[in-house]
């Protein structure tokens, strides 16, 4: 060990507490105890750092240094380097040097004004970035160096040279003229560079275009870094900061161009999306940028930004669908989506959530068309719908199927949020999008999906629709059931006519919705009851030859009979309108069955007539034609 320890006073260990009795503390610098090789290594590193600093200083001032060196050589070495083609020896040196000094100073003043104005325009960017601002541009520093060199050296010549008779003085005169011409020539590229610095959007777009996977990797490790904003020397963090500026200024064109370019770069890097790790790194970086914009947009009330984010999400997932990318590789986007929906819901941004519902609907349909695994490879469907039949387990296909169906979950989640934040328009948007998905399945818009896949999606949508519809009524989002649930009756009647095995579960869900709505006295007295009766009327023509239609017709009557029974037991006479409407619907079913099966024996007619005859005579208020018109 080299070195020594000085000024050490020993204390009783029992007294080393908050009331020390000693008068002096031990003084012992850590370097005293360093081994000699470590001290020598430290000194070597310090020398290298000093060398690098000196090297940087020389690089930044190379123009001035070169000019001074050349001037000194010409001044003290009597050489005739430049032939006097311009006859400078015959002119007055004072006027010559004064002309160069005056011209340079004037141009330099204008140049400084341009630099200051540009700096003022982009000063936020200049102070924020540690590199790349206008004051660090090489062409700007070189131009300033040339101007300063010309002024100082020419002034020195002005004071010391009185004629051009000597060859070295003549050479200096030509040297001043040459660097002055160089200064004039360099003004245009410098001005172009200076003005280009003011175009921060162009610079940011170029920075995005130059991003590589390594740049995304740099920020992937900063995901949970509390002080991530301090890492502003990283390209992607600089992009993030620029986005914040444009969002703060509500510059729609600027941040849209940035996000579009970022999307293009993400698609370019992930390619076919087969590399899960690479895809995750890219989307982790992209969502890092998006998230920063989300909070800033909320702060300044720039809600249009959220629409742009939805457009970016839609483009990426449509790309995944058309390129048949395994959606598990998009898990970073999945994580973002869940948090994004919660963020919008927490801040009651219903319009942005409506856009999200439309995007989820589009993404679901695109992936069902182009990126859906075959039914035979999803063993869970056979377990659910084919009496637990065991099929080969294809883990990738099962996960892909679950990932596609997560968009239905997200849609349902937004609809649930609409009830919580009391947003009827948002609820209606979700209801429409979900109903339209069901319609498109009925129209065979997704030829790649088969009956078990169809059953899974349709059952899931209708189950959630009836549940959310009931909750919406119960929470007073709507007063009546007619507004909170709707699935086209023609779709359901076609399922019955085609004898789809899963139609029974759908009818159960709708029946439950109607009965529970009546129990809460939220069942409207016409639309919902007529909806249920319409199902029976639409299948009456195939009743005799279609076994599923016979079972469905019986179930429709069973539901009407249950409604009748519960109203008679608990809700008469104040639910007389619904009670009488149920009777009318039963009578209508009887008429349609007889009309569509004229001259034939219809077994269910006897049951229908029995239900009709059991109705009580109840007089209730009416909402239509309260006062009759008499001629």
Q: DSSP per residue over 374-414, as a string?
A: PGGG-HHHHHHHTTT------HHHHHHHHHHHHHHHHHHHH
**3 state SS for 493-550:** HHHHHCCCCCHHHHHHHHHHHHHHHHHCCCCCCCHHHHHHHHHHHHHHHHCCCCHHHH
Does residue 86 have a pLDDT over 80? no
Cα separations (Å) of 34 from 4, 9, 39, 104, 487? 10, 21, 6, 57, 81
pLDDT of residue 116: 73
pLDDT of residue 18: 39
Instruction: Determine how many CB atoms are found less than 10 A away from the CB of residue 96.
Output: 19
Task: Kindly state the tokens that stand for 549.
Answer: 């239609």
Nearest by Cα to 425 from 477, 465, 499, 501: 477
pLDDT of residue 574: 84
CA 445 to chain CA centroid, nearest Å: 29
Backbone angles phi, psi at 6, to 5 degrees: -120, 155
Stated pTM of the model:
0.73
Average model confidence (pLDDT) for the chain? Answer: 84
Is residue 76 packed enough to be buried (19+ CB in 10 Å), middle (13-18) or exposed (0-12)?
A: exposed
Each residue's pLDDT tens digit, 576-628: 899 999 999 999 999 999 999 998 999 999 999 999 999 998 876 666 666 77
Helix (H, G, I), strand (E, B) or coil at 6: strand
pLDDT of residue 72: 81
Percent above pLDDT 70 for the chain: 81
Task: Give dist(CA 296, CA 240) in Å, integer.
Answer: 11
Does residue 24 have a pLDDT over 70? no
Helix (H) or strand (E) holding 300: helix 276-300
pLDDT of residue 439: 94
Half-sphere exposure of residue 322, counting CA atoms within 13 Å on the CB side?
8
Does residue 281 have a pLDDT over 80? yes
Instruction: Determine how many CB atoms are found less than 10 A away from the CB of residue 26.
Output: 12
Does residue 265 have a pLDDT over 60? yes
């Amino acid at each position: 060990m080299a070195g020594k320890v000085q000024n050490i006073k020993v204390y009783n260990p029992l007294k080393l507490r908050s009331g020390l009795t000693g008068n002096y503390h031990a003084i012992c610098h850590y370097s005293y105890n360093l081994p000699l090789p470590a001290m020598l290594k430290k000194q070597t590193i310090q020398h290298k750092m000093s060398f690098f600093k000196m090297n940087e200083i020389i690089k930044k001032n190379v123009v001035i240094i070169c000019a001074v060196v050349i001037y000194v050589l010409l001044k003290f070495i009597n050489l005739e380097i430049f032939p006097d083609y311009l006859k400078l020896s015959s002119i007055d040196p004072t006027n010559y040097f004064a002309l160069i000094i005056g011209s340079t100073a004037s141009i330099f003043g204008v140049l400084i004004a341009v630099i200051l104005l540009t700096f003022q325009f982009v000063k936020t960017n200049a102070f924020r970035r540690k590199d790349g601002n206008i004051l660090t541009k090489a062409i700007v520093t070189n131009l300033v160096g040339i101007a300063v060199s010309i002024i100082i050296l020419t002034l020195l010549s002005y004071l010391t040279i009185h004629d051009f008779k000597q060859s070295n003085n003549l050479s200096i005169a030509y040297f001043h003229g040459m660097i002055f011409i160089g200064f004039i020539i360099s003004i245009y590229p410098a001005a172009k560079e200076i003005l280009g610095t003011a175009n921060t959007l162009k610079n940011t777009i170029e920075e995005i275009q130059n991003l590589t996977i390594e740049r995304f990797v740099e920020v992937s490790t900063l995901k949970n870094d509390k002080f991530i904003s301090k890492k502003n020397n990283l390209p992607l963090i600089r992009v993030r900061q620029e986005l914040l500026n444009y969002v703060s200024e509500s510059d729609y064109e600027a941040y849209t161009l940035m996000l579009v370019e970022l999307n293009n770069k993400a698609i370019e890097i992930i390619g076919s999306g087969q590399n899960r790790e690479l895809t995750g790194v890219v989307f982790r970086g992209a969502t890092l940028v998006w998230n920063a914009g989300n909070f800033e947009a909320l702060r300044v009330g720039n809600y249009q930004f959220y629409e742009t984010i939805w457009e970016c999400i839609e483009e990426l997932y449509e790309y995944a669908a058309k390129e048949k990318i395994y959606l598990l590789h998009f898990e970073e986007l999945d994580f973002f989506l869940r948090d994004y929906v919660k963020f919008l819901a927490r801040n009651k941004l219903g319009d942005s959530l409506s856009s999200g519902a439309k995007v989820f609907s589009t993404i679901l349909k695109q992936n069902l068309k182009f990126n859906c695994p075959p039914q035979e490879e999803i063993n869970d469907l056979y377990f659910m719908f084919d009496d637990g039949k065991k099929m080969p387990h294809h883990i990738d296909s099962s996960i892909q199927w679950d990932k596609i169906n997560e968009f239905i979950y997200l849609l349902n989640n937004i609809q649930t949020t609409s009830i919580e934040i009391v947003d009827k328009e948002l609820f209606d948007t979700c209801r429409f999008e979900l109903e339209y998905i069901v319609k498109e399945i009925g129209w065979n818009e997704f030829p790649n999906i088969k009956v078990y896949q169809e059953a899974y999606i349709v059952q899931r949508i209708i189950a959630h629709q009836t549940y959310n519809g009931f909750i919406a009524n119960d929470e007073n989002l709507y007063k009546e059931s007619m507004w909170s649930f709707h699935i086209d009756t023609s779709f359901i009647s076609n399922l019955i006519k085609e004898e789809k095995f899963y139609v029974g579960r759908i009818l159960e869900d709708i029946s439950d919705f109607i009965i529970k709505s009546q129990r809460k006295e939220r069942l409207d007295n016409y639309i919902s009851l007529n909806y249920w009766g319409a199902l029976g009327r639409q299948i009456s023509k195939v009743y005799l030859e279609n076994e599923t239609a016979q079972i469905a017709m019986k179930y429709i009557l069973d539901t009407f009979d249950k409604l009748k029974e519960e109203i008679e037991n608990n809700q008469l006479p104040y639910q007389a309108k619904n009670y009488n409407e149920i009777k009318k619907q039963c009578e209508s079913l009887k008429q349609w069955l007889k009309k569509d099966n004229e001259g034939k024996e219809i077994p269910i007619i006897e049951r229908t007539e029995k239900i009709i005859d059991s109705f009580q005579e109840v007089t209730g208020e009416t909402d239509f034609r309260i006062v009759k018109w008499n001629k």
